[in-house]
Amino acid sequence: MKKKESETKKIKTAWPTKMAMAQVYEMKLWGGNSASFYSGAGSHAPEIVNPYIDAVTSFLTAFESPIVVCDLGCGDFNVGKKLVKYTKNYTAVDIVTDLIEHNKKQFKAENLEFYCLDIAVDELPLGDCALLRQVLQHLSNAEVQNILCKLSGFKYVIITEHLPDGDFICNTDIISGQGTRLKKHSGLNVLAPPFNLKITAEKQLLSITLKEGKGSIVTTLYTLF
């Protein structure tokens, strides 16, 4: 009985976010044409994508031997496809079933795997480094906390977040899948309450200031152990 109740609770927790993100792609809320999946300007604008790829590539190629990377929230894989060749294994994860099936058909490499998972609910793949690129900003504090608690198995975590200009109150709660904290002039800081992620080192890899006062996209490397 307890097991069934637990499973029901898990499904109820996961389903709204999964539906919301599937709807984003179905209704092209981030743009794109009717024939393809499109993860928005954050995954396609050269001024955002190219510096990120350069920064992460520099990190990955600094190791004597390639490491295992888990891309948690891989989207349409326009970014991840540029990083696969620098890794021992690359596991790409997203919550949207049709998106993952599309990616499996489009992108193939011996060291590449795709999985459809809700990273706030499901067990995460194993790896040396986790990438979360503009993923947490779409999720409630409860889901963010669930994810952060699972990252202890990774030595390195690279988190990219869209932050507002100027001073702001961090970690204002939102409803998952209904925009980001920017509309509340807030942004995510995983080291601040209520998250308090435990790390041994922190290094900002990249900060891109957007035009017209639209904030900055900041990429930070955290070493967990």
The domains of the chain are located at 2-223
Which pLDDT band holds residue 15 (cuts at 50, 70, 90)? low
Contact 135, 70 (CB under 8 A): no
- Whether 3 shows a pLDDT value over 70: the answer reads no
Residue 208 corresponds to which tokens in the numbers above?
Answer: 């891109």
Q: Give the model confidence (pLDDT) of 19-43 as tens digits.
A: 888 888 888 888 877 668 989 899 9
Q: Does the pTM exceed 0.85?
A: yes
Contact 156, 87 (CB under 8 A): no
Q: Match domain 2-223 to its CATH number in 3.30.470.10, 3.40.309.10, 3.40.50.150, 3.30.365.10.
A: 3.40.50.150
